[in-house]
Amino acid sequence: MHSTVVIKGNKSGLTVILDPAPPFEQLLSDVAAKFRESARFWGSVQMALTLEGREMTPEEEFAVVNTITENSQIEILCLLDHDLSRIERCEKALNEKLMELNSRTGNFYKGSLGAGETLETEASVVIIGDVEQGARVTAKGNIIVLGECRGALHAGASGNLDAVAVALEMAPVQLKVASIQQKFGDRPRRLGRGPMIAGVEDGRIAVKPLKKSFLSRINFI
């Protein structure tokens, strides 16, 4: 019987080869079943993941990663990409937007925040650096981390449910927008590859790949 999901080990971690033919929802079901069946074999491990065989949107890739982690004890550290141009284009667009914001606001923090450090602001903030595990950022507006986030972010602290948190590498232990929060455990893990955005959807925190078109709608006040 033809398998729609093939798992192979490689020197970096796992390669998952996905059949391009079946509907995506069916494929997700097959991924879930495959990793449930092999969960004992792989055990509790941290791995990089490569997806092959099927063209997918960033949202679909994110859904596959979540399906794997929900049906096994595998912690996906990162998603390896053979074509880095998409991420590079998005990061370039984000940098251009940040320079524009800098000329209008000045709400920038230059440097990384280490464990035990806290940054609070009455408006929005752009952090040119990393937010390490044990660090916390609280803003009444939006938060953009021009680096890796491994700590805790609280955007819209004044109750603004439209606020967002963005990071070039999103691996937080906690995300909070207004009063809605989600914890990700004591060990940070990447929630996707490349720039990611977190906001409130249907009363919960949703984390998605950042689209270039969204940058023009970010309001920094």
Taking residues 149-176, what's their average pLDDT?
A: 92
DSSP string, 77-131: EEEE-S-THHHHHHHHHHHHHHHHHHHHT--EEES-B-TT-EEEESS-EEEES-B
CA distances (Å), origin 76, targets 67, 103, 195: 11, 38, 17
Sign of the four-CA dihedral 91, 96, 101, 107: positive
Taking residues 102-120, what's their average pLDDT?
A: 77
pLDDT of amino acid 1: 55
Q: Rounded distance, CA 34 to CA 48, Å?
A: 18
Taking residues 59-86, what's their average pLDDT?
A: 76
Contact 183, 165 (CB under 8 A): no
In terms of Cα–Cα distance, which of 46, 53, 65, 44 is closest to 6?
Answer: 53
- Higher local confidence (pLDDT), 83 or 148: 148
Taking residues 108-117, what's their average pLDDT?
A: 87
pLDDT of amino acid 24: 94
Name the DSSP class of 38. T
pLDDT of amino acid 137: 94
Single-letter amino acid, residue 141: G
Maximum distance among all Cα pairs of the chain, rounded to whole angstroms: 61
The domains found in the chain, sorted by start residue, are: 5-80 (3.30.750.50), 85-215 (2.160.20.70)
User: pLDDT, tens digit, for every residue of 99-109?
Assistant: 555 544 447 78
Sign of the four-CA dihedral 17, 23, 25, 29: negative
pLDDT of amino acid 116: 92
pLDDT of amino acid 43: 79
The label of the residue with tokens 């990089």 reads 48
